[in-house]
Amino acid sequence: MNAPPRPWLDATMPVPDRVAALLAAMTLEEKVAQVHQVANPAPDDVGGFGTCIVASGEHAGNVRDAGTQARSVNALQRRAVEGTRLGIPLIVARDVIHGHRTVFPIPLGQAASFDADLVRECARVAAREATADGVRWTFAPMLDVAQDPRWGRIAESWGEDAWLAAHLGAAAVEGFQGGPDGGRLDQPDAMAACAKHYVGYGLAQGGRDYAEVDVGPHVLQNRHLRPFRAVVDAGVATVMSAFHTIDTVPMTGHTALLGDHLKGDLGFAGPVVSDWDAVGELRQHGVAADLADAARLALGAGIDIDMVSEAFATHLVDLVRAGVVPEAQLDDAVRRVLALKFRLGLFEDPWTPEDRAASVQLTDAHRALARRAAASAVVLLRNDGTLPLRPGLRRIHVTGPFATARAELFGTWTLDGRAEDAGTIADAVRERYTAPGTEVTVDDHRFGDETLVRAREADLVVACVGEHPLRSGEANSVTSLDLPAGQVEALEALARVSRRLVVVVLTGRPLALERLAHLGSAVVLAFHPGIEGGHGIADVLSGDVPPSGRLPSSLPWTTGQVPLHHDQLPTGRPLDPDGDVGRYRDHRDTPAYPFGFGLGYADVAYGEVQLSRPVLAPGDVVELSVQVTNAGAEHAALETVQLYARAHRAAVSRPVSELVGVRRVALAPGETRRVAFELDRTTLSRRDARGDLRLEPGLFTLQVGPHAGAGPTITLEVTAAP
C-alpha cells in the first residue's frame, strides 16, 4: 500500500499551512494524543501521547533521577516517527532549571547578579547541554514574583521585584530558545522555554506551597503578570499554568486569565501546559465532579496539554463525540502543539546525535561561566575590613556543614548535576592560598569541639553555614527564616575563640540573619551557588573578583516581618524614617538589608543626578545621568547602579519605590564614570486593572543609588498627553 501523501513535510510551506494540512489528516484519537503528556515513557510506549516529561515529578525536583540520554530519546522518537500512522515526532521535556550537567546558581542567586547577559548565557549553556541529551523543552524560567521567603520556591524565582523578574526572565527565554524574538528554535541546540507558573503562585498564603491566592487586578497586572507579559513579548514558546486557586478559581480552569487574558489580550499563540496532574486536581479543588468534567473544564479554560493526569487522554474523545466539548476547542490546542513541533524543526530532524553530549557538556568554558555566575551571586552583607583576605595569613581554617559539601552546593531542581563534578569551598580556598607559610585546615563541623580548637589556632576562620537544599524548592516551606537549628550557637562559639570570623551563608531563600548582625568580621550570602560555587566564593573572598551581588529580595530582621518588599504602597500614615515610632511593638518596620543591597571592597560615591530636561512631555525621552566614582585607591568596583521612581499622584496608589532601570559599571580605583538612563513614558507607566498602560501627569521623584531607598534624588514633571 502506498504511504499517504504528507504535504506537511514540505518545509517550504509556512508553519500555519503545514499545521492545517496535518490537522486535516488526523483522526480524533490522533488529535487527543497530541494534547496528552506522559511521564518517563518506556521506549516501547508510543502512539498515545504527543509530548513527554522525563522528570521525577513525584519528588518535585528534590531528588535526582536517572536522567535521559540521546539514545533513549532517539528510540522513543523512532517509535513515534516510524511506528505511527502519521509519523508525528515527540517533544521530550525536562525541568532544566539552572543548568544541566553544568549547574549554575539557583535562579535567586543568578538574580543577585542583576545581570541579564549572564542569565542569558547560563540559559544558553543549559540548552546546549540539555539538547545534547535529546531534551527540547524545558519548564523554565519560573517567573513568580516571590515576596514571602517562607515559600520554598522563592529559590526558583528572580526575587521580589517584577521589573527584575521581567528582564531576567526574558533573558533566560532568549538563552534557552537561542536568541531574541522567539529565538531560532529549529537549531538543534535550542529548546522551547516555558514561562511558569501562570499566575500569582508566589502569593501562596502563609508561604505554604500550593495554597490559595487572593489578589486584586492592579497588583496582579503590575507585579505578577508583568514578567509573563515580558516573556510573551520576547517570544516564549510555551506557558505553564499554576496549581493554586486565585480568588477561589483554580488556575487550571481559569478561563478569564488563560483563554481570555493570556491567549486573547496578551496574544500568546503557543501551547499552555498544565502543571503536573493539575487537571486531575480540579477534583480536589472541588470544581470538577470527575476526571471527565476536569478535562472539559481545563480544555475550555485554555489548557492545551494535560501534564500526566490522563484526563484528556481518557475522556476527550468521548466528550467531543458526545458534543460536550466542541472539536474546534481541541483543534486549537492541537494546532498549538503541532506548530511548536514544526518550529522546533522536529519534522525535518527528530534525531539527537548520540556522541554530542560528551563534547558539549561540562566543557571548560561552561565551567568558567559557572564560576563567574557563582561569584556574581555572592552578596557581601557586612565587612569590617577583613575581606578581601590578605596574603600572608598563617593559617586559614574552613569549617561548617558546607565546607566540604558538593551536591549540596547545587540547590533545588538539579536533576542532572553530579556531586563528583563539583569542587568544595575548602578545596577552592586551599587552591588559592598555596604560598609557603600559609596553611589551610578544614573540618566539616561534625565535632564542634574539634572545630573550636582549630579555630583558636587559626588567624582566620571561614564558616560555611546555611540551609540544605531540601529545605527550599517545591513543597518545602518553613515557618522560621532563621539559620537551621544549632548553627547560630555554633557560630557564636566560634566567634568567641576566632581572631577573625568570616561567615558564608548558603541558602535557597532570603534568611533572617539578625543574630549575625554583630557576629564575626564579615558576612557573605552566596545562595546555592552551583557546581563552581567553591571557586566562585573563593574568588570573592580573596578579592580576585570584586563582590558585585545585590539582594534580589529584602532580608528581614525576623520572620514575623514577612512579606516585606521595597515596592510596598504608601500608607495614609507614613512612618518618619528617623523617628522612634513604628508599627511593630517588638521590632523594626524596615528590613535588615534592603532590596538591591550589597557591599563591594571599594567605596563608591554618587554625584548629583541630572536630567536632560525637567519635564517629560508626550513623545519625549529624557536622559537621567549621574557621576559614579570609585572613591577607594586599592580595589576595583563593579557597581550596580539602580534607578527607582516614585509617582506622587496617580489614579490609584503607586508604590513608594519602583525599580525602573539598572546599569552595571566597572570602576577602577579612583575612576569616575557617567552613568545614563533614558526615560520615556512607558518607563514610568503602570497598568490599570484591565492591563492597559497608563501614565497620569504629575511629579515623580527619581532616585539613583546603590539600593532601594538610597542615593541622590531629582524631580521630574510628567505632562498630560494631548
Contact call for residues 282 and 250 (beta carbons, < 8 A): yes
Contact call for residues 568 and 348 (beta carbons, < 8 A): no
| CB closer to ligand NOJ, 60 vs 525 | 60
List, in order, residues 6 or more apart from 179 with CB less than 8 Å away: 190
Contact status: 275 vs ligand NOJ (CB under 6 A): yes
The minimum distance between CB 36 and ligand NOJ, in angstroms, equals 15
Contact status: 55 vs ligand NOJ (CB under 6 A): yes
DSSP β-ladder status, 91-94 and 395-399: unpaired
The minimum distance between CB 168 and ligand NOJ, in angstroms, equals 17
Stretch that binds ligand NOJ, among 4-12, 50-58, 477-485, 583-591 (CB under 6 A): 50-58
Among the listed residues 133, 141, 161, 128, the one whose alpha carbon sits nearest the alpha carbon of residue 98: 141
Contact status: 277 vs ligand NOJ (CB under 6 A): no
Residue type, 588: R
Q: How many alpha carbons lie under 13 Å from residue 648 in its C-beta half-sphere?
A: 11
Contact call for residues 643 and 624 (beta carbons, < 8 A): yes
Contact status: 293 vs ligand NOJ (CB under 6 A): no
Q: How many alpha carbons lie under 13 Å from residue 541 in its C-beta half-sphere?
A: 32
Among the listed residues 285, 288, 255, 286, the one whose alpha carbon sits nearest the alpha carbon of residue 272: 255
Left if phi > 0, otherwise alpha if psi is -120 to 50, otherwise beta: which for 77?
alpha
Beta bridge partners, 704, equal 643
Contact status: 416 vs ligand NOJ (CB under 6 A): no
| CB closer to ligand NOJ, 134 vs 556 | 134
List, in order, residues 6 or more apart from 148 with CB less than 8 Å away: 154, 202, 203, 204, 206, 207, 562, 563
The minimum distance between CB 494 and ligand NOJ, in angstroms, equals 38
The minimum distance between CB 196 and ligand NOJ, in angstroms, equals 5
Contact status: 57 vs ligand NOJ (CB under 6 A): yes
The minimum distance between CB 156 and ligand NOJ, in angstroms, equals 7
Out of 115, 161, 275, 306, which one is annotated catalytic?
275
The minimum distance between CB 145 and ligand NOJ, in angstroms, equals 15
> Between 512 and 541, how does the x/- string for binding to ligand NOJ read (CB under 6 A)?
------------------------------
Out of 8, 114, 137, 139, the only residue in the binding site for ligand NOJ (CB under 6 A) is: 139
Contact status: 152 vs ligand NOJ (CB under 6 A): no
DSSP state of 420: G
Out of 276, 433, 557, 677, the only residue in the binding site for ligand NOJ (CB under 6 A) is: 276
DSSP β-ladder status, 686-687 and 693-694: antiparallel
Q: Which residue is nearest to ligand NOJ (CB)?
A: 139
Q: How far is CA 681 from the centre of its chain?
A: 28
The minimum distance between CB 276 and ligand NOJ, in angstroms, equals 4
Contact status: 196 vs ligand NOJ (CB under 6 A): yes
Stretch that binds ligand NOJ, among 9-17, 53-61, 333-341, 384-392 (CB under 6 A): 53-61
The minimum distance between CB 607 and ligand NOJ, in angstroms, equals 45
- Residue 275 appears among annotated catalytic residues: yes
| CB closer to ligand NOJ, 412 vs 629 | 412
Among the listed residues 640, 633, 634, the one whose alpha carbon sits nearest the alpha carbon of residue 606: 640
91-120 residues in contact with ligand NOJ (CB under 6 A) are: 95
- Total binding residues for ligand NOJ by CB under 6 A? 10
Query: What is the DSSP annotation of 289-303?
Result: SSHHHHHHHHHHHT-
> Between 432 and 471, how does the x/- string for binding to ligand NOJ read (CB under 6 A)?
----------------------------------------
Contact call for residues 162 and 147 (beta carbons, < 8 A): no
Query: What is the DSSP annotation of 247-267?
Result: TTEEGGG-TIIIIIIIIIIS-
Tell me how far apart the alpha carbons of residues 166 and 119 are, in angstroms, rounded to a whole number.
12
Contact status: 282 vs ligand NOJ (CB under 6 A): no
| CB closer to ligand NOJ, 81 vs 194 | 194
Stretch that binds ligand NOJ, among 49-57, 215-223, 414-422, 429-437 (CB under 6 A): 49-57
470-489 residues in contact with ligand NOJ (CB under 6 A) are: 474
Neighbour-count burial for 649-670, b at 16+ CB within 10 Å, e otherwise: ebeeebbbbbbbbbbbbebeee
Question: Would you name the residues annotated as active-site residues?
Answer: 275
- For ligand NOJ, the binding residues (CB under 6 A) are 53, 55, 57, 60, 95, 139, 196, 275-276, 474
